[in-house]
Structure 1
Amino acid sequence: MANVVTFWFVFAHLLLQILEVNAKVPAIIVFGDSSVDSGNNNGISTVLKSNFAPYGGDFIGKQPTGRFSNGRIPPDFISRAFKIKPIIPAYLDPSYNISDFATGVCFASAGTGYDNATSDVLSVIPLWQEMEYYKEYQVNLRGYLGKEKATEILGEALYLISIGTNDFMENYYIFPSRSKEYSVEEYRDFLLRIARVFITELYQLGGRKIAISGLPPMGCLPLERTMNIFSERECVQKYNNVALDFNAKLQEMIKKLNKELAGIRLVPANPYDILLDTIQNPQKYGFEDAAKACCGTGMFEISYLCNKKNPFTCPDASKYVFWDAFHPTEKTNWIIADHLVNTSLAEFL
């Protein structure tokens, strides 16, 4: 079995190398939440941070960067596959400047959502502010490269959007305000209207190649399984059904926008199926545990609860699907990114 797993990863790695051709994409530009945040929360006043060990223990130089993982996150791997650069820097990281951001930049903020009320929960960057940072970036890029070259890069760049999980798991199902105001279907539609407006504004600002992520199997996150104590920590199917329904409606919206906005190339970057398969068949991907996370007890720790003083953190994160109770390990992030590069993002290579 070990030989089969080793062969699979060697084969997949070679396949990813084959795809690392002369890309048609000059930059990767990222919006969203902790699934794609490369460290913007380091620069704001919030309790939701990960710029300390053991986060980043398998990152380049073993440095905690503010990524919610033991290592790299999907945009980093996607950037490498497009042969741009090995990692995507955070816009608020003072160690980078516009020359670094010209080939890729991340505006994402862990804990945020489509809904402004979601970003308020942990005082993180709301999605509208991510857009304002992007507008500021456009001005700086034109000052750095000149209007013509900057406009070309902004038009040919690949825009990655990954957001929405927190709206349900951190907001709707935790606090009563939104659940009293909306049914889950009405809240879904409320979020999708925000997504439509955001994509349309991005298009009006010059974005053409856009990949928007659906929701993952939220009910299979270790934290949700921990709370599901009366069902022996099985995945919470109710939450997975919400994700599937949201993703189906998102797909409909994508089709409509592709017809309405001339020249846009909007694609779904759906992590649901590949992540669920990884969770249900961990041995297939070389994992030993998909129910618990590597950090701490693997049942509830996130952010500061996942720290170097926690004595239970596993010695080898590559054996786990999840790093903390909410976020995948670097290995899982690579599997997700590889899947996306070979499917929805392949047309941009």
Structure 2
Amino acid sequence: MARLISILLFLSLLQLCPKFIVSLTDEPGSASFVFGDSLVDSGNNNYLQTLSKADIPPNGIDFKASNGQPTGRFTNGRTIADIVGEQLGQASYALPFLAPNTTGAAILNGVNYASGGGGIVNGTGAIFVNRIGLEVQVDFFNTTRKQLDEVLGEEKAKEFLMKKSIFSVTIGSNDFLNNYLFPLISATVRLNQSPDAFIDNLISTLKTQLTRLYSLDARKFVVGNVGPLGCIPYQKSITRVNENECVSLPNQLAVQYNAQLRELLADLNKNLPGARFLLANVYDLVMEVITNYKSYGFKTASVACCGNGGQYAGIIPCGPTSSMCDDRSAHVFWDPYHPSEAANLVITKYLVDGGTKYISPINLRQLRDL
């Protein structure tokens, strides 16, 4: 009888304290904590009053997990973060931080904090009214960090973050497109800051936030540089360049920022004990796909599949009234700003298993296995 009472008491404690179920019976697998902008947003902006949303069709039309319904992802299917998680063996996609079900054991797959319109500096994306910048995203992770202690216990939570979790940061494009280069505000910004000063501020702010994540036990990082912004359908449409041309100024600024980012990550690798910072060379990788699009099975690297306006359908964002291409897998770009799922698959292949030209000093699979 005493033995039965002990068993019943133990089971009741498990019900009262779910963290024991995880720590005693389950060994958490790999997890992905995702920070960034609309390139990797998995639905956080659905919960904001914002002009930057992808919760309307035909966004998500090829996203099998939702049966083709929009989820807030700014593409026709999976984002790069989704595909990376799949290929590294993650049990399910990292849920948006703002989703009400992102609690308890669900956070052991990781959490997505990315927000369409968000940037490195707080002022970026103000034209969208609401968005989550990098500083607030890291604040949100601080909340998750405390929840992990509750779910796993302090010691296991720290080990889980240091050894089994990858922290990906995909941000910076909006700081140029919707800040320094945005037609309505760029004149004032450029008057107050030279390109050098603006980029210095981006790098300094990014360093602060990456260091904050390190202080919260993040150890395995992959940071994407800024892609060739002058080659997206939006920039090509508003400047009316030829199909085989890109707009020079956005690309020049991206190259300048990327050079400083490489130096920053090298510095962090040197000065933060136990940390591994990988550089995802998105600029050269996307340029490779754009330049040699036919060899990857695409029919165009200039025209958006879903959008309207201009030669490249790059002025009006994708929505229910937009024109949409017949073969989504034939387009590098889904809409005026974002790659298609087909392009994301090509990009991810290089990041997960590729060589040092596009992901360095090691690739993502090697980072996971450290």
> So what's the TM-score if we normalise by structure 2?
0.84
Matches within 5 A, 1:1-349: 26-60=30-64, 61-122=67-128, 123-156=130-163, 157-174=165-182, 175=185, 176-229=187-240, 234-297=245-308, 298-301=312-315, 305-310=317-322, 312-343=323-354, 344=359, 345-348=364-367, 349=369
Within 2, Cα distance between the matches of 1:98 and 1:223? 40
Q: Tell me, which stretches of 5 or more residues in structure 1 are unaligned?
A: 1-23
Within 2, Cα distance between the matches of 1:245 and 1:62? 39
Give the Å deviation of 1:63: 1.9
Give the Å deviation of 1:178: 2.1
Q: How many residues align?
A: 323
Within 2, Cα distance between the matches of 1:116 and 1:177? 16
Give the Å deviation of 1:89: 1.7
Within 2, Cα distance between the matches of 1:178 and 1:185? 12
Code of the aligned partner of 1:113: G
Contact 1:114 1:167 in 2 (8 A): yes
Q: Structure 1's 70 and 155: CA in aligned 2 closer, same or farther, altered over 3 A?
A: same
Contact 1:31 1:107 in 2 (8 A): yes
Contact 1:225 1:233 in 2 (8 A): no
Q: Structure 1's 231 and 318: CA in aligned 2 closer, same or farther, altered over 3 A?
A: closer
Output the aligned Cα RMSD.
Answer: 1.7
Contact 1:77 1:86 in 2 (8 A): no
List structure 1 segments (4+ residues) > 6 angstroms apart after TM superposition. none
Aligned to 2:342, the other structure's residue is in SS state helix
Aligned to 1:322, the other structure's residue is in SS state coil
Aligned to 1:100, the other structure's residue is in SS state helix
Give the Å deviation of 1:239: 1.5
Higher relative contact order (CA 8 A, sep 6+): 1
Give the Å deviation of 1:222: 0.3
Give the Å deviation of 1:347: 2.5
Contact 2:238 2:315 in 1 (8 A): no
Within 1, Cα distance between the matches of 2:301 and 2:105? 40
Contact 1:301 1:324 in 2 (8 A): no
Q: Tell me, which stretches of 5 or more residues in structure 2 are unaligned?
A: 1-27
Contact 1:55 1:68 in 2 (8 A): yes
* CA deviation map 1:200-232 (0-9, x unaligned): 111111111011110001100000000122656
Larger Rg: 2
| Seq. identity, % | 36
Code of the aligned partner of 1:309: T
Within 1, Cα distance between the matches of 2:250 and 2:173? 10
